[in-house]
Every structure is written in structure tokens, then in C-alpha cells.
Amino acid sequence: MKKHYKKLILGLGLLVLINLPEVSSGSSTTSESKYLFTPPKSVSQWQYESLFLAIYRVESGCDSMKINRDEMAVGGLQIRRVLLEDYYLRTGKRVLLHETYKLKVSKEIFAFYTEVYGPDPERIARCWNGGLQGMRKESTKAYWDRIKNNL
């Protein structure tokens, strides 16, 4: 069978080919099936979901196709390539930048880093914004205030 590709120009000078699922076949196997969402163990389900939605609102206005050309960040959670490289080194799971447009994929990455950053919602949000040293950065305080307003 021939693979079908869709060209996606991100406006960042990048051309990405996305493998589309087979239309003619009866079984649907998408690349999304390899991402099984599991909420983090250290954070309650409710707390995690509300924090995820608040970050999703603040980062992209709930637009999973958002592109920030200044920071080279894409998707609903505004994920950058450097985060994906770190994620690969820590988990062995390779995720391509264009896959972060899928909310399920972004959610899986966010769940992993929720475990890394710890159970405190402020720490999770500030580290999501400023990296592992996010709690030490003055700039992430304003970000946390915006997240709190969206919880």
C-alpha cells in the first residue's frame, strides 16, 4: 500500500510531511496509538486536569494549532524542540515537533514533566514555563499568576 502524506508548512521555514492513516484499509492504525495517556501518580486527577487546562488556556488560548514564531514553539502547550530532545533522553520516546499539535501527545509529555517537577501546582507551572530552574526565575511569577487566574 502507498503511504499518503500531507504537506504542512509551519510558517517557520519548515516543511513537514505528516503520515496520514490509510483511507482504504478497514483497520485504523495511527501514530497516536503509541501515546497512552496516564495521569501522573503524584498529582490528583482533578488537580492535574485543571492545571493542564489552565496552562493550555494561557499558552495558546486553547488552540492546538498555535505557532509562536518568536520562540519556535508549537501546539496547544507551546512545546519547543529542546523539550522534545530532553523528553527523548529521559524516556527513550521520540516525538517530532509536528506531533505536538495532537493534544493527546502534548498531554502525555505534560504528564511526564508533571512527575519530574513534583506535586506542587505552582512548581509544575513555573517549571513548565521556565525549565527546571523555573522556581528561581523572577519571570515565571507573573506566569504563575496568569495560571492561577485560569484555575
Predicted structure pTM score: 0.70
- pLDDT at site 76: 95
pLDDT above 90: percentage of residues in the chain? 61
End-to-end CA distance of the chain: 47
Those residues whose C-beta lies under 8 Å from the C-beta of residue 50, and which sit 6 or more positions away, are 151
- For the chain, the average pLDDT equals 79
pLDDT digits (tens, 9 = 90+) for 80-92: 999 999 999 999 9
Per the CB < 8 A criterion, the answer to whether 98 and 12 are in contact is no
Is the pLDDT at 116 greater than 60? The verdict is: yes
Going by the DSSP 8-state scheme, the letter that residue 21 receives in this structure is P
The Cα 2–Cα 71 span in angstroms is: 36
Specify which residues 17 forms β-bridges with. Answer: 7
Domain 38-150 annotated CATH 3.30.720.200? no
The Cα 62–Cα 122 span in angstroms is: 20
Specify which residues 15 forms β-bridges with. Answer: 9
Task: At 34, list the grid cell.
Answer: 503509541
**Domains of the chain: which residue ranges?**
38-150
